[in-house]
């Protein structure tokens, strides 16, 4: 039994996430965690809400609530939605936790001790009306390059020119709309990432098994232009982790907080502390410190491609810079984007399906199956209602659901609600065993390698084997002349349901549980020997005919949902 630490990208607190966010980190992480557990491995699967920064303050103000209260409410909302999608986190923490406050401050103090923090005097835009310094994204104006009148303080989305806030013409605060802006000086702390460029480059170069998407993004940030730059780790904000040097005040940093990119990844570690402090586990250090036993842990991260630079460079720089025995990630599984029907998901435009809405329409297994079987691993993927309807109806209803319904109902009508005996296995069953052995081995290989789409395709092929076996042997016809052979064929089919339930559980956990309950078994041992697995439910073992596993999505539903979530075109 191996030990696996799994983290997925930490979702931001200001709102409910869309399906692209789900398939880009949390859902494939859950798939892998469930699979490893089913193979007998020890797993710690951690996630949290990312709660600091200006967007959280603004979202709270819009909701008319104190920011701490808003974050608490939204954490509960996101936790409930995660549960609705059956995301099997061992702990779903919060970056605002006391554990993360203390750990972030300790990391900063240690990095300062190692000479990797420097103080920088900066000029930043201050909004007199808002009484605060404005991050670049909260300043808009006219682009001096192309004349676009909604250019942000960091970049013009029209011509893509990189900008400074002071470059903008007629700049204004996006918070209040005020044009009463001043340039003022302020002091901030920077992490000297450039000092760690060589160590980071060597580390990334050693990861020969990482996805090309992950390493190409990391190397681009490491080597393009001026290369890896020092990065600010503090901000002039009220909401966040106060800047301290360990437990001591940091002179000149009064009233400032750590920048969200710095404290959020540290929450991965802090969430393990929360897991222990809340009585869910023991000995968090054995997962995160190599001097406490974490040297035998395999650490896998899941994230969208936009998060790759922080997790391949900035967070590792934080870890490496301490020169303490913290666990570094072993494998980063990154994903491209899921787009929506020819455009992007958009909260403001009401385009696309968001996680809470999805659960109102259909049970989570529909979404889990489609998203994972179309995971954007090698390129961006696209959600369309036509494809969603076609695929779920065919895969879940016609292939898996139809097999379970046919074999259980036939057995009940011709024998009883108990596994029949019949004759010993024959040539067709031996071929089924051989085919299952080959297919399951391939499925295991794809799952071990976290090749999500290939694993889904292989699982579907395993489901198809059952239907092909029934079609080729036709027990309903055989029963008329040779009921003992038909009984044996039904016995094989009923045992296939148990096999399918176990193999499918990481993808569609609710349907898996329904199949196991119908077969009245709690035996979820992974099928290693297929002949044994096809005899796991012995003759006489009672079962019941389950309700229809998956209903089909109708054309009327598809049309209604497509119109409802179309929003405004980009």
pLDDT digits (tens, 9 = 90+) for 380-416: 999 999 999 999 999 999 999 999 999 999 999 999 9
Residue 227 — very low, low, confident or very high, per pLDDT cuts 50/70/90? confident
Contacts of 61 (CB under 8 A, 6+ apart): 67
Residue 161 — very low, low, confident or very high, per pLDDT cuts 50/70/90? confident
Contacts of 339 (CB under 8 A, 6+ apart): 20, 345, 380, 381, 382, 383
pTM score: 0.94
Per-domain boundaries in the chain: 3-114+193-337, 117-191, 368-376+385-533
More confident residue, 432 or 55: 432
146 assigned ligand-binding residue = yes
Task: Give the pair of three-digit tokens for residue 567.
Answer: 């929003």
- Which candidate, 427, 389, 423, places its Cα nearest to that of 556? 389
Cβ–Cβ < 8 Å for 240, 53 = yes
DSSP lists the bridge partners of residue 381 as 338
Min mean pLDDT across 36-50, 108-122, 167-181, 409-423 is at: 167-181
pLDDT of residue 225: 65
Q: Please give the average per-residue pLDDT across 151-177, as a whole number.
A: 86
pLDDT at 503 > cutoff 80: yes
Residue 54 — very low, low, confident or very high, per pLDDT cuts 50/70/90? confident
47 assigned ligand-binding residue = no
pLDDT of residue 133: 87
pLDDT tens for each residue of 274-305:
999 999 999 999 999 999 999 999 999 999 99
Q: Please give the average per-residue pLDDT across 22-42, as a whole number.
A: 98
pLDDT at 60 > cutoff 90: yes
- Which candidate, 86, 67, 98, 96, places its Cα nearest to that of 22? 86
Is CATH 1.20.58.1290 what the domain over 3-114+193-337 is classified as, yes or no?
no
Q: Please give the average per-residue pLDDT across 115-140, as a whole number.
A: 90
pLDDT at 348 > cutoff 80: no
pLDDT at 42 > cutoff 60: yes
pLDDT at 569 > cutoff 70: no
Cβ–Cβ < 8 Å for 53, 261 = no
Strands 244-245 and 248-249: antiparallel
Strands 297-304 and 331-335: parallel
pLDDT of residue 568: 65
- Give the H/E segment covering residue 139: strand 139-142
What is the 3 state secondary structure string of 448-470?
HCCCHHHHHHHHHHHHHHHHHHH
What is the SS3 assignment for 356? helix
Assigned CATH topology for domain 368-376+385-533 = Isoleucyl-tRNA Synthetase; Domain 1 (1.10.730)
More confident residue, 261 or 469: 469
411 assigned ligand-binding residue = no
Cβ–Cβ < 8 Å for 19, 354 = yes
Contacts of 559 (CB under 8 A, 6+ apart): none
pLDDT of residue 397: 98
Q: Please give the average per-residue pLDDT across 236-245, as a whole number.
A: 94
pLDDT of residue 417: 97
Q: Which residue's entry shows tokens 């969603």?
A: 388
pLDDT at 113 > cutoff 90: yes
Residue 506 — very low, low, confident or very high, per pLDDT cuts 50/70/90? very high
- Mean pLDDT value across the chain: 95
pLDDT at 570 > cutoff 50: no
pLDDT tens for each residue of 473-491:
999 999 999 999 999 999 9
Residue 155 — very low, low, confident or very high, per pLDDT cuts 50/70/90? confident
Q: Please give the average per-residue pLDDT across 317-344, as a whole number.
A: 95
Considering the segment(s) 117-191 as one domain, its CATH architecture is Beta Complex (2.170)
What is the DSSP code string of 493-530? HHHHHHHHHHHHTTT-HHHHHHHHHHTT--------SH
143 assigned ligand-binding residue = yes
Share of the chain above pLDDT 90, in %: 87
Tell me the C-alpha distance between 487 and 416, whole Å.
11
Cβ–Cβ < 8 Å for 90, 36 = no
pLDDT of residue 226: 67
């Amino acid at each position: 039994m191996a030990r696996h630490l799994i983290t997925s990208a930490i979702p931001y607190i200001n709102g409910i996430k869309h399906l692209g966010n789900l398939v880009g980190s949390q859902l494939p992480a859950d798939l892998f965690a469930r699979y490893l557990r089913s193979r007998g491995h020890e797993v710690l699967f951690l996630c949290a809400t990312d709660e600091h920064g200006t967007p959280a303050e603004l979202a709270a103000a819009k909701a008319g609530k104190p920011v701490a209260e808003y974050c608490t409410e939204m954490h509960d909302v996101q936790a409930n939605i995660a549960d609705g999608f059956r995301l099997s986190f061992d702990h779903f923490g919060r970056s605002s936790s006391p554990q993360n406050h203390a750990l972030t401050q300790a990391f900063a103090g240690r990095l300062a001790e190692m000479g990797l923090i420097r103080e920088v005097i900066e000029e930043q835009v201050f909004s007199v009306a808002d009484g605060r310094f404005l991050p670049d994204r909260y300043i808009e104006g006219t682009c001096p390059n192309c004349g676009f009148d909604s250019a942000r303080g960091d970049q013009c989305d029209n011509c893509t020119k990189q900008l400074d806030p002071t470059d903008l013409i007629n700049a204004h605060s996006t918070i209040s709309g005020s044009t009463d802006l001043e340039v003022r000086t302020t002091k901030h702390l920077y992490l000297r990432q450039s000092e760690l460029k060589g160590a980071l480059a060597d580390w990334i170069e050693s990861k020969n098994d990482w996805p090309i998407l992950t390493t190409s993004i990391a190397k681009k940030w490491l080597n393009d232009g001026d290369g890896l730059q020092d990065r600010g780790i503090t901000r002039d904000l009220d909401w966040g982790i106060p800047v301290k040097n360990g437990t001591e005040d940091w002179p000149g940093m009064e009233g400032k907080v750590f920048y969200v990119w710095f404290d959020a990844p540290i929450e991965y570690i802090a969430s393990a502390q929360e897991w222990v402090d809340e009585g869910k586990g023991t000995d968090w250090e054995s997962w995160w410190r190599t001097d406490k036993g974490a040297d035998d842990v395999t650490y896998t991260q899941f994230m969208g491609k936009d998060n790759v630079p922080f997790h391949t460079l900035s967070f590792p720089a934080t870890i490496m810079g301490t020169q303490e025995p913290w666990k570094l990630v072993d494998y980063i599984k990154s994903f491209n984007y899921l787009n929506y029907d020819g455009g992007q998901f958009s909260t403001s435009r009401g385009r696309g399906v968001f996680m809470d809405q999805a659960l109102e329409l259909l049970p989570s297994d529909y979404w889990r199956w489609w998203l994972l079987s179309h995971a954007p691993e090698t390129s961006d993927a696209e959600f369309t209602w036509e494809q969603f309807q076609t695929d779920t109806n065919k895969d879940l209803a016609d292939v898996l659901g139809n097999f379970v319904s046919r074999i259980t109902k036939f057995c009940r009508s011709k024998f009883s609600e108990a596994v029949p005996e019949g004759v010993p296995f024959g040539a067709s069953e031996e071929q089924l065993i051989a085919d299952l052995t080959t297919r399951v081995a391939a499925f295991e290989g794809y799952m071990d390698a976290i090749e999500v789409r290939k694993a889904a395709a292989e699982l579907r092929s395993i489901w198809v084997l059952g239907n092909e076996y029934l079609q080729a042997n036709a027990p309903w016809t055989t029963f008329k002349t040779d009921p003992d052979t038909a009984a044996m064929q039904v016995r094989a089919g009923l045992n296939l349901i148990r096999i399918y339930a176990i193999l499918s559980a990481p993808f569609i956990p609710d349907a898996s549980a329904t199949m196991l309950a119908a077969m009245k078994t709690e035996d979820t041992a992974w099928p290693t020997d297929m002949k044994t697995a096809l005899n796991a439910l012995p003759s006489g073992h009672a079962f019941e005919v389950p309700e229809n596993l998956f209903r089909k999505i109708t054309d009327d539903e598809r049309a209604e949902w497509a119109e409802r979530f179309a929003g405004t075109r980009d």
